[in-house]
Amino acid sequence: MEKAFSEADREAVYRAIHERRDMRHFVSDPVAPPVMQRLIDAALHAPSVGFMQPWRILRITCAEIRTQLRDAVERERLLTADALGERRDAFMRLKVEGLRDCAEVLVMALMNGREAHVFGRRTLPEMDLASVACAIQNMWLAARAEGLGMGWVSLFDPHEVAALLNMPAGAKPVAILCVGHVDRYYDAPMLETEHWAKRRSIDECVFENEWPSPRD
């Protein structure tokens, strides 16, 4: 395995990283099956704690199930709005999912039986979710390279979605992924453009050796 990437190849990786967006606007043209295969293959080649590979991917091809997922997201959207208090109206103006128009819907879940996996999880059991998130990020970057958009929706009751998709006890859905063609990518994160939140500065996020004391 040759180590160095050419400068052009390195720049391509950074371009995917910097131009990837969490998309909510899609056009409904279908995604070619070999492209979907490459995206799923990218997810399955993520790192995982103790090589446990805790990810399970449910591809939703049934229109009725997709509708039920949309209904579940809509219920949680309203409950989240109520929980937001004074930010309720600002939240309700945002487009928070693209489930109607996207070409493909995938549900990413944690497998059941995870308690058997101790390596790297004795003190940090949530590393299984970290592994699934790495798989999703792989898929996100691959989608960007394919000229597709992807959005991660976490506005749902996991118990409700688990029941809908016949998940066994111990399995847990953690993402509804919308994948598909887009007219354009957002120039910046949509929640930044819509003034929901500002980008944090490097100084706010990167420290040396220890957390700065509050007076710094």
Task: Tell me which residues in 140-169 interact with a copy of itself (CB under 8 A).
Answer: 140-142, 144-147, 152, 154-158, 165-168
Q: Does 121 bind a copy of itself (CB under 8 A)?
A: yes
Q: Which of 27, 28, 60, 178 binds a copy of itself (CB under 8 A)?
A: 60
Looking at this protein, which amino acid is placed at residue 215?
R
Q: Does 207 bind a copy of itself (CB under 8 A)?
A: yes
Q: Does 129 bind a copy of itself (CB under 8 A)?
A: yes
In this structure, are residues 185 and 201 in contact, taking their beta carbons and an 8 Å threshold? no
In this structure, are residues 205 and 133 in contact, taking their beta carbons and an 8 Å threshold? no
Task: Tell me which residues in 7-26 interact with a copy of itself (CB under 8 A).
Answer: 8-10, 12-20, 22
Q: In whole angstroms, give the CA distance from residue 162 to residue 111.
A: 11
Q: Does 73 bind a copy of itself (CB under 8 A)?
A: no
153-157 contacts at long range (C-beta below 8 A, 24 or more positions apart): 153/73, 153/96, 153/97, 153/99, 153/177, 153/178, 155/73, 155/76, 155/77, 155/80, 155/96, 155/97, 156/69, 156/72, 156/73, 156/76, 157/72, 157/75, 157/76
Q: Which of 84, 92, 115, 170 binds a copy of itself (CB under 8 A)?
A: 84
Sign of CA dihedral 189, 193, 194, 198: positive
Which of 19, 100 has the CB closer to a copy of itself?
Answer: 19
Q: Which of 71, 74, 80, 101 binds a copy of itself (CB under 8 A)?
A: 80
> Among residues 192, 194, 157, which one has the least CA distance to residue 174?
157
Q: Which of 99, 102, 103, 174 binds a copy of itself (CB under 8 A)?
A: 174
Q: In whole angstroms, give the CA distance from residue 198 to residue 185.
A: 19
Shortest separation between residue 37's beta carbon and a copy of itself, angstroms? 9
Shortest separation between residue 100's beta carbon and a copy of itself, angstroms? 18
Q: Does 38 bind a copy of itself (CB under 8 A)?
A: yes
Q: Does 31 bind a copy of itself (CB under 8 A)?
A: no
Q: In whole angstroms, give the CA distance from residue 201 to residue 105.
A: 34
Shortest separation between residue 91's beta carbon and a copy of itself, angstroms? 7
Shortest separation between residue 102's beta carbon and a copy of itself, angstroms? 16
Q: Does 95 bind a copy of itself (CB under 8 A)?
A: no
